[in-house]
Amino acid sequence: MKQSGQEKATLLLALIAGLSINGACSALFSSIVPFSLFPIISLVLAVYCLHQRYQNRTMPEGLPGIAAACFILGVLVYSAVVRAEYPSIGSNFLPSVLSVVLLFWIFYKLRARREDN
């Protein structure tokens, strides 16, 4: 059961890293989104924690793919939220649809991993 908690923490850190990297890029390079230091700080902390997990623990089979999907989900969710808040950037239809599809794929993979154990 402890391994499952560690896996969830890794997936959550990957999601936070995805949200943070898109937030940091938007804060630094977009004139529409106001500057904030918090996405940069959270990006550094999330990447550091993920790096420490990678060095100190072995990742079970299939977890790196799900972690990458969580990272991409974070990027897409942040993009959809920013586009909903600032409609002059563009439509949030594609990021929203891709987020939902990716979320269902992640749940499918997690359920398949749980049934295998």
Cα dihedral 93→40→44→58 (10° resolution): -10
Q: Say what the pLDDT of residue 1 is.
A: 42
Supply the pLDDT for residue 43: 95
**76: Cβ contacts below 8 Å, ≥ 6 apart:** 18, 95, 98, 99, 102
Per-residue pLDDT tens over the stretch 20-78: 999 999 989 988 888 999 999 999 999 999 999 989 988 888 899 999 999 999 999 99
The whole-model pTM stands at 0.91
Residue 109, class by beta-carbon neighbours within 10 Å (0-12 exposed, 13-18 middle, 19+ buried)? middle
- Ranges of each domain in the chain: 2-116
pLDDT at position 84: 93
How far apart are alpha carbons 24 and 2 in whole angstroms?
32
DSSP string, 70-94: HHHHHHHHHHHHHHHH-TTS---HH
Cβ-contact 73, 103 below 8 angstroms: yes
Q: Which of 58-62, 89-93, 100-104 has the highest mean pLDDT?
A: 100-104
Q: Is the pLDDT of residue 10 over 90?
A: yes
Residue 3, pLDDT > 60, answer no
- Angle (CA) 17-21-24 rounded to 5° is 135
